[in-house]
Amino acid sequence: MGDLIVRNVIRECYDGHISVRPVCDVDSVVFHRISRAEDPGSPFGSVPDFELSGQLVAAWFREHGPQRPGSYTGGETPYTGLVRVDGSVDQMLGAADQGAHATRWNYRGLGIAFAGDFRAHAPSEAQVSAAVFIAAMALCAGWRVHTHDEVRDEPKGCPGDLWPQDKIMKKAREIAAVRGACSTNEALRRIGFVI
């Protein structure tokens, strides 16, 4: 499997707030969905999933209103990465900057969002491949890998019923076994994330 294409768009996603944690405390990844279906009333609502970028998603959360998704992040960019429909990744936060994406998992976890609503359709093959690679590198570092619903008290369809988490984890375990154990810094480097 080839490496991921990761774009560093951290500066363009800057939310005016850096919430620093020691990178060595990162020990998990949480997968999410993000799409226009989250907020059909917003200007963002007309953007098709395949055009979603890290910059657009960050702007959406920054310019939150009371009923908008950003209302629960305080306007902060919640995700470390957005996996686009084409499988490429926009890095939105540095690995040492925690995002508000899954309550008790914010401090330890990297939030990774995938463009699309997987309650309604399956992720693209490229997105599944990216999820497998990220999960595999996470497993190499001994991290846990979860969907948002798995770490919520009450599941709310994130990423959604059509998200193939079992299949992703099975392939990720196979790849992790081949690549071998590594440090957290090395896992981040392999994924292509900057700290």
**By the criterion CB under 5 A, which residues form the site for Zn ion?**
32, 148, 158
Q: Is the link from the previous residue into 159 a cis peptide, with omega within 30 of 0?
A: yes
Judge whether 28 and 147 are in contact, CB under 8 Å.
no
Q: Which of residues 42 and 147 has its CB atom nearest to Zn ion in the complex?
A: 147
Return the number of the residue (93 or 158) whose C-beta is nearest Zn ion.
158
Q: Which is nearer to Zn ion, 30 or 85 (CB)?
A: 30
Minimal distance in Å, beta carbon 159 to Zn ion? 7
Edge-first strand listing for the sheet containing 28-34: 6-8, 89-91, 81-83, 109-115, 28-34, 144-147
Q: Which is nearer to Zn ion, 84 or 148 (CB)?
A: 148
Report the distance separating Cα 168 and Cα 105, nearest Å.
20
Contact predicate 159/32, CB 8 Å: yes
- Rounded to a whole number of angstroms, the minimum distance from the CB of residue 158 to Zn ion is 3
Residue 22 Cβ vs Zn ion, minimum distance, rounded to whole Å:
24
Minimum distance of Zn ion from residue 70's CB (angstroms): 13
